[in-house]
Structure 1
Amino acid sequence: MSTSKPTPLLQARGVKKSFGDLQILKGIDLDVHQGQVVALIGASGSGKTTFLRCINLLEEYEGGTILLDGEQIGYRVEGENDERRRLSEARVSAQRARIGMVFQSFNLFPHMSAEQNVMLGLTKVRGKPKAEAQEIARHWLARVGLADRRDHYPYQLSGGQQQRVAIARAVAMEPRLLLFDEVTSALDPELVAEVLAVMQDLAKSGMTMLLVSHEMLFVRQVADHVVFMDGGLVAQAGSPAEIFERPSTPRLRQFLGRFHGILSSVT
C-alpha cells in the first residue's frame, strides 16, 4: 500500500523577489494541497502580499519556482545554462485565469452593477454566453448573500457588500486556487464579520485558499495550515495549534502577543 502524499496543487521553492536593492522574499518554500486553507501571518513588511502577487504574476520573481498543477508559473527554463525566460503574455494570462485573487480594495467597475461585475470575466475571459454568465453570477451573488443587490452599483453598496461582490467575481471564474490579500483591512469593524463568514463558507465547501490576514481568531478557526513569515522567510509553519499554542521563535511569540486578548478567548 502506497503512503506517498498527493502532489501539492501549489508548490513554491526558493522564491526570491527584490525591489531595487531591497530583498523582500529571500527564498520562500510553501506547499498548498487541494482543498486546503493555508494562512500567511506576520508583521507588515514581512513579504506576505508580495508573495501572493508573485503567485498571481502581478510581480515578477527573480529566483525560485512556483508550480500550479505541476506547471511553472510565469517562466520556462531552457538552454544549457537553465536560463529562465518569461512566458508569452497569452500563456501568462491563461495561467492567471486559473488563480483567483481578492484584494484589499474591491476593484469593482463603478459603472457596472454587481451582477455585471461578476459576469464580465465569465464572458470576456471564459467566453461564456451572456445567459450562462448571468446564471452563474446570480448563483454566486446569492451564495454571498447579495441576491437582492445584484442590480445595485458599487456606490449603492457598503464596503462589506462590495467585498462580497469581489469574492463572488473571483469564485465564479472557478479558479484552481483562490488568493485573499487582507480582504478585511479596508472595512469598518462592523462589516468584517460578514466577509469572514463568506470566506468560512467557501473553506467548508472545499475551496483551495491561500490567505493573508491579521484576523487571528479567524485564521485559528478556519486554516488547516499556518505560515509565519518574518523578514522575507518562513520562520515557522504548522497547524493552528502548533503556531498559536506552541510558538517556537521569539519573533512569533512577540507577534502573537499583540492578539493575546482575542486569542485567549478561545483557549
Structure 2
Amino acid sequence: MSDQPLLQARGVRKSFGKTEVLKGIDLEVRQGQVVSLIGASGSGKTTFLRCVNLLEEHDGGEILLDGDPVGYRMEGGRRRRLSEARVSAQRARIGMVFQQFNLFPHLTAEENVMLGLTKVLGKGRAEAREIASGWLARVGLAERRAHYPYQLSGGQQQRVAMARAVAMEPRLLLFDEVTSALDPELVAEVLGVMQDLAASGQTMLVVSHEMLFVREVSHHVVFMDQGRVAQEGTPAEVFENPASERLRSFLGRFHGLLGGRAE
C-alpha cells in the first residue's frame, strides 16, 4: 500500500440552496485501501461520493486524484471549471456502483459490461467481450452473461453493475449503499464480491450500513455527522472507542459490534 494518497479531499463544501450538506470534508484514500464512510442518513456521505465522481459540483475546497485537481483548477485565486474533455477523462478513472443497478434493459449482462469498454475506452468488440466475460465469471455470473436484466435477480444485477465498473480498470471504485435495494438473502453474495475486490488490492471508497462488512474489510473508517468528519481511524478505534455520544448512539443500532458497549 502506497503512502501517497490516491484521493485527497481538502475542505470540501457543498450546499443545496441554503442548506450546507458538506461543511469542510478532509479525507484521504491511499492506493490499495478500503475506506468506509458510515453515519446516519443525511450526514453527507452520498453527496461526498457524488462530488468525488463529478456527479455533483462541490462549492468549495479541493478534491485531488493522483494529485490532479478533480473538476476544477485554481487560476488567479479563483476556481475554473476544467474542460468537458478533461472532466470526462477524470470520470473514466473513477468507477461508481450505485444503490440502483442502472443496467440497460435492452442489453444482456455481457453487453452492459462491454458498453463502457467500447464507447469510453475505445476497445474493439472482441477484446471488450473477452474482458466482460472474464469479469462476469469473476463475479460468479459466467452462465448468465447472455441474460437480460429482467432475467436476473437483484443480487445478480448488482454484480453485473460491479463487473461493469471494475472492468473499466478505475483507479478508484466508489460504492454507494450497494446492498440497500436488495432482499436480505441477496446481500451476502454482493458483499462477497466486494470482499474479493478488496482482497485483490482494489482501492475502494464505500458508503455502507453493513457494519460487520465495514469492520472486517476496511483499512480506515470515517464517521460523518451533519456534514462533517466527526471521527475517523482504524475499524478497532472507531468501533471500540467511539469518542462521542453521536457515534455511540449510531453504533448502538448494530448490536454486538462494540464488544458490549452498545448495550
Please give the residue correspondences for 1:1-267 in structure 2 after superposition, counting only pairs within 5 Å: 6-79=3-76, 82-261=77-256
Amino acid at match of 1:93: S
Q: Distance in 1 between matches of 2:55 and 2:80?
A: 16
Q: Distance in 2 between matches of 1:11 and 1:166?
A: 26
Secondary structure of 1:197's match? Answer: helix
Q: What amino acid is aligned across from residue 65 of structure 2 in structure 1?
A: L
- Output the amino acid matched with 1:103: F
Shift, 1:6, TM fit: 2.6
Deviations 1:207-265 (A, max 9, x none): 00000000000000000000000000000000000011111111000000000246659
Runs of 4 or more consecutive aligned structure 1 residues displaced over 3 Å after TM superposition: 261-265
Unaligned runs of 5+ residues in structure 1 are none
Using the TM superposition, name which of 184-193 and 82-91 deviates more. 82-91
Asked if 2 retains the 8 angstrom alpha-carbon contact of 1:40 and 1:213, the reply is: yes
1:216·1:263 contact (CA, 8 Å) conserved in 2? no
Q: In 2, are the aligned partners of 1:160 and 1:195 still within 8 Å (CA)?
A: yes
- Cα contact 1:217–1:263 (8 A) shared by 2: no
Identity of aligned residues (%): 79
Structure 2 portions without partners, runs of 5+: none
TM-score, normalization by structure 1:
0.96
Post-superposition offset of 1:30: 0.2
Q: 2:62 touches 2:69 (CA, 8 Å); kept in 1?
A: yes
Task: Kindly provide the CA deviation profile for residues 141-193 of structure 1, in whole angstroms up to 9, marking residues without a partner as x.
Answer: 00000000000000000000000000000000000000000000000000000
CA contact 1:15–1:61 (8 Å) conserved in 2: yes
Give the conservation status (yes or no) of the 8 Å contact 2:240–2:258. no
Deviations 1:120-149, CA, capped at 9 Å, x for gaps: 000000000100000000000000000000
Contact 1:123 1:130 in 2 (8 A): yes
Q: TM-score under structure 2 normalisation?
A: 0.97
